[in-house]
Structure 1
Amino acid sequence: MILPIVAYGDPVLKKVGVDINKEYPKLDILLENMFETMYNASGVGLAAPQIGLAIRLFIVDATPFADDEDLTEAEQKLLEGFKRVFINAKITKEEGDEWVFNEGCLSIPDVREDVFRKSTITMEYLDENFEPHTEVFDGLVARVIQHEYDHIEGVLFTDKLSSLKKRLIKGKLGNISKGKIDVDYRMRFPDQKKKR
């Protein structure tokens, strides 16, 4: 089932998510719905807060980035099959040089800005079977993971912008929260009661 994506301005996007356990109700259905919702919106990641749940859960499918001709063959191969579920994730280390990438977010449609992030992260997480993993990610995969991880920490990519950039997009963000935007996927707007 395709779920509505929560728009900028909704308080759930600023909450730090809580850990979940194996007894979380209907987790398999939730994950299925999240993947369907993400694909419907042409996203590469989706975090539970973006569908209104303040829990430490996000999904990633970096396959669309594999088509980038600027990447090495090895990078393309990694991205092509990179589809994961992250439960109760914790970044334990960020290292390497900061690099810039133009980011967007399904909760903030039509806003894209350059964001600086570290190139390499070490992360502990549980998969959909609650098996523990500790992995090192770098490059575009690390970037997508960091963006989604920020969501479960109550952080949006717009929070990482300079005060000048924030002022420049303030009107756009206000319009998004009021639903004054055309999107081709279902959204729930905080300053508007009806769903699209």
Structure 2
Amino acid sequence: MVDVDRLVDKALYQYEYFLHLENKHVVEEGVFCKLCGQDEFETEESTETVEVEVCRSTCRIPGCNERHDTIRVSLVPDEDSNVFVRYLEYECPEHPDHHIPPFVDERPTATIEREVDVEVIISNLMHRHHVSYEPEELIWVCPTCHAQIHHTEQYKEYKPDMTRQEWLDSQ
């Protein structure tokens, strides 16, 4: 008999790890504010409830002449979730060390709700700001710093030497 709880735990662990790697890639690819250092993307810990579907099917290992029950565990996030991944886990009690092709021909026999700790990506809008129009020099800034450049004296050195309209008129 297949240990459903162990399979569910294994699928949830790999699902969380996959999300962590995906989020890490997105965050590393993002830009940051030149003035205050705020990242374009940040992660925040969150807990989500996911449904774990348990299905039974015939073993699909090539060369196996026996019919065994196989369990598929797939994570189905709730509708409001920003999580888009489905993770599938297969296991046959007769072949615990073999990969089983992802094919299930039965409907779920059980649905289990589980809490999953995930990292959610938070996007901070970044602006491209002209420090100079000629020669063109742009920097990334967050909205707060962008407003301070244009409406306060705090970042005088980052104010462009002419307005956008003056630059357009000179073209």
The TM tier, using the shorter chain, reads under 0.3
TM-score, scaled to structure 2:
0.21
Q: Which has the larger radius of gyration?
A: 2
* Higher relative helix content: 1
